Amino acid sequence: MICPRCDTAVEDDWHAFVGCKVARESWYWAGLSIVRQLRVGTVSSLTDFVFDICRSESRDIVGCVALLLWQIWVARNDAIWNDVHHTSTSIGRMALDAWQQWQDVHKQPSLPIVQHRGNRVQGNNSVWEKSSETWLKCNVDAAFHDCNHITTFACCVRDSRSQFIWAQTKWQRANMTVLEGEAVALLEALHFADANRWDRVVF
């Protein structure tokens, strides 16, 4: 198969993620050119390329590389299935933005669990941030009603301009832990996005 982005070479995994002109420039815009250049010509496969990065680079570099590879794959599929062609600049910057968001979330202190009239509420003072352009953002949550043996789940979808798109709620007759409830809420939101054929969603 000819590469759907450069139309100049047969596409294999190495070309898709490392060799294609769009991929090469995406590494540059993500600030990872040197990481790529150090291994081109010294490893024989994409697998070796990725494992060498994981062995040799810092946690931050490895995390950013993982998100860049994901963004390259998403852009490649958008070109094939949706005839949407992302620039290398946008691919690299989306990878950087996603890594920064991941770091920001994991730097936040653990939130206290508050008992209130038999319901467990997890405190959260963080401020909602809009998604990147052309992406949707889906916030999920769970509520716990132990005395009635019910756990409820909700999700709310907004666009990059913070405009409301859709929402849903569900419930199950079950007492769940906070971790279980939040996990089920996220799973329900993923099913909801899939049913609506939304493939560019930040959860």
- Domain edge (last residue) among 91, 107, 123: 107
Of residues 94 and 134, more confidently modeled: 94
Mean pLDDT on 109-134: 53
- Domain edge (last residue) among 85, 107, 129: 107
pLDDT one-digit tens code per residue, 8-26: 889 999 999 999 999 999 9
pLDDT one-digit tens code per residue, 61-85: 999 999 999 999 999 998 999 898 9
pTM: 0.55
> CA 33, CA 61: separation in Å to the nearest integer?
11
> Is the separation of the CB atoms in 201 and 192 below 8 Å?
no
Grade residue 173 by pLDDT with cuts at 50, 70 and 90: confident
- Domain edge (last residue) among 53, 84, 107: 107
Asked if the structure places residue 2 within a domain, the reply is no
What per-residue confidence (pLDDT) applies to 106?
66
Task: Tell me which residue has tokens 């009603």.
Answer: 145
Average pLDDT, the chain: 84
Comparing 23-37, 43-57, 89-103, 134-148, the range with the smallest average pLDDT is 134-148
Same domain? 76 vs 134 = no
Asked if the structure places residue 3 within a domain, the reply is no
By residue range, what is the domain housing residue 130? 113-202
Query: Is 90 exceeded by the pLDDT of residue 152?
Result: no
Query: Is 80 exceeded by the pLDDT of residue 120?
Result: no
Overall number of domains in the chain = 2
Beta carbons within 8 Å of 148's beta carbon, 6+ residues apart: none
> CA 200, CA 64: separation in Å to the nearest integer?
19
